[in-house]
């Protein structure tokens, strides 16, 4: 029987979201003869009146969508419908309006593409409104433990690795220590992977406590070996040595991680006398065109999510485990936050390669 399904992208954008959308539309419309409705700007599209959505059809896709960064549907990491920020500074529970919006669109099921925060909100909304929901994991932070890869992560690693590739020649030309600050929220996955792949001398992540003296000692050892430059990569959530977080306050008062690169660079200069420069990579890690691997996960997850709906299996998230796409309860996925394993293969590899993690 033909179905009408909704799809939305929620939380911070990342590479591969459009590829997920393509996967869902191809499988649902071409494969099963269903109709797909793309809801604009996360759940916002269901809160607006008239509803803000567009019907998605494979004929709309010109061949570009698979390659395109961002999300054609738009997204937001604000506007929690259970605590919606109002102009007077107060918050309002708008969940019933959201459920009414879903009903108005006459949908049979909803696919939500999001990180753990979005997944939690969407699940609460689905439970309250008795809405059949399927989740697809995306986040450059790769901190959803139930899946080995979330959409967007590998592209972010590629971008950060490419940045390391471009920093090395200029570091060597000027005999400098280059510090690259990357995203990842509270997890050091991007820094660790891009650090290893990009030939970092020092990788500093939130999961491994560091001391400036150890970083300085590593840089001094490189100098003694005749090396005139060094590459340091640091994850944005790393704290200062005294344990304080480094944050930036954006216009309007919102805070985000940012600034630890400058703190490290200043302290490295003080401790070693080296000239340092800092690159804060920021949102280029999110806006790039998806890598081949990210496209594969995106399309596989998209098609698998539609198949879950066809099978009547809801309140589940697709995930990548042991070279397969699987599905698990969303509640379980939200529970399994995954930072870098201090004893895991990549930390062991970094140490084995002589990369300093700043802890000895
Ligand atoms: O969660 C994704 C992420 O890019 C984090 O790595 C980063 O800390 C944060 O979002 C940035 O948020 P915003 O886009 O609101 O600046």
User: Which CATH number does the domain housing residue 23 bear?
Assistant: 3.40.50.450
Residue whose CA is closest, atom 10 of ligand 1?
12
Ligand 1 touching residue 140 (CB < 6 A): yes
Residue whose CA is closest, atom 11 of ligand 1?
256
Q: What is the distance in A from the centroid of ligand 1 to the CA of 78?
A: 12
* Residue-wise pLDDT tens digits, 325-353: 999 999 999 999 999 999 999 999 999 99
* Count: domains in the chain: 2
Q: What is the distance in A from the centroid of ligand 1 to the CA of 250?
A: 12
Ligand 1 touching residue 27 (CB < 6 A): no
**Atom in ligand 1 nearest the alpha carbon of residue 115:** 1
CATH number for 272: 3.40.50.460
Same domain, 88 and 171: no
Same domain, 87 and 168: no
Same domain, 134 and 199: no
Q: Mutation test of ligand 1: which of 10, 119, 155, 185 has the most ligand atoms closer than 8 Å to its C-beta?
A: 185
Q: What was the pLDDT predicted at 340?
A: 98
**Nearest Cα to Cα of residue 7 among 141, 121, 105, 82:** 105
Same domain, 23 and 115: yes
Ligand 1 touching residue 99 (CB < 6 A): no
Provide the domain limits for residue 114: 4-151+290-321
Is this prediction's pTM over 0.85?
Answer: yes
In a domain, 326, yes or no: no
Q: 90, exposed or middle or buried, with CB in 10 Å at 0-12, 13-18, 19+?
A: exposed
* Residue-wise pLDDT tens digits, 26-65: 999 999 999 999 999 999 999 999 999 999 999 988 889 9
Cα 112 to Cα 8: distance, rounded to the nearest angstrom:
5
* Residue-wise pLDDT tens digits, 226-268: 999 999 999 999 999 999 999 999 998 999 999 999 999 999 9
Q: Any idea what the Cα angle at residue 282 is, between residues 277 and 285, rounded to 5°?
A: 115
Q: What is the distance in A from the centroid of ligand 1 to the CA of 153?
A: 12
180: number of Cβ within 10 Å = 24
What share of the chain has pLDDT > 90, as a percent? Answer: 97
Same domain, 246 and 346: yes
Same domain, 91 and 200: no
Q: What is the distance in A from the centroid of ligand 1 to the CA of 55?
A: 29
């Amino acid at each position: 029987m033909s179905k009408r399904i909704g799809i939305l992208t929620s939380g911070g954008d990342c590479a591969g979201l459009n590829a997920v959308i393509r996967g869902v539309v191809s499988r649902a419309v071409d494969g099963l003869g269903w109709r797909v409705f793309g809801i604009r700007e996360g759940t916002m599209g269901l809160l607006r009146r008239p509803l803000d959505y567009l019907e998605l059809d494979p004929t709309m896709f010109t061949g570009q969508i698979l390659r395109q960064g961002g999300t054609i549907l738009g997204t937001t990491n604000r506007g929690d419908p259970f605590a919606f920020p109002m102009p007077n500074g107060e918050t309002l529970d708008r969940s019933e309006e959201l459920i009414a919006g879903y009903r108005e669109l006459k949908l049979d099921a909803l696919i939500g593409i999001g990180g753990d925060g979005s997944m939690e909100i969407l699940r609460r909304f689905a439970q309250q409104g008795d809405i059949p929901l399927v989740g697809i994991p995306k986040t450059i932070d790769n901190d959803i433990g139930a899946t080995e890869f979330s959409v967007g992560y590998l592209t972010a690693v590629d971008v950060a690795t490419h940045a390391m590739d471009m920093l090395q020649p200029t570091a060597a030309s000027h005999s400098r220590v280059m510090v690259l600050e990357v995203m990842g929220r509270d997890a050091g996955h991007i820094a660790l992977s891009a650090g290893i792949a990009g030939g970092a001398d020092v990788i500093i992540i939130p999961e491994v406590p560091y001391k400036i003296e150890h970083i300085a000692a590593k840089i001094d050892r490189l100098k003694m070996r005749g090396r005139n430059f060094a590459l340091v990569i640091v994850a944005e959530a790393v704290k200062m040595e005294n344990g304080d977080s480094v944050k930036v306050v954006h216009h309007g008062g919102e805070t985000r991680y940012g600034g630890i690169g400058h703190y490290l660079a200043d302290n490295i200069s003080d401790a070693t006398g080296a000239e340092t420069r800092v690159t804060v990579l920021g949102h280029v890690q999110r806006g790039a065109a998806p890598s081949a691997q990210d496209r594969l996960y995106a399309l596989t997850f998209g098609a698998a999510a539609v198949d879950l709906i066809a099978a009547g299996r809801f309140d589940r998230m697709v995930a990548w485990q042991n070279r397969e796409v699987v599905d698990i309860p969303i509640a379980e996925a939200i529970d399994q936050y995954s930072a870098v394993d201090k004893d895991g293969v990549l930390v062991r590899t970094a140490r084995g390669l002589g990369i300093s993690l700043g802890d000895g």
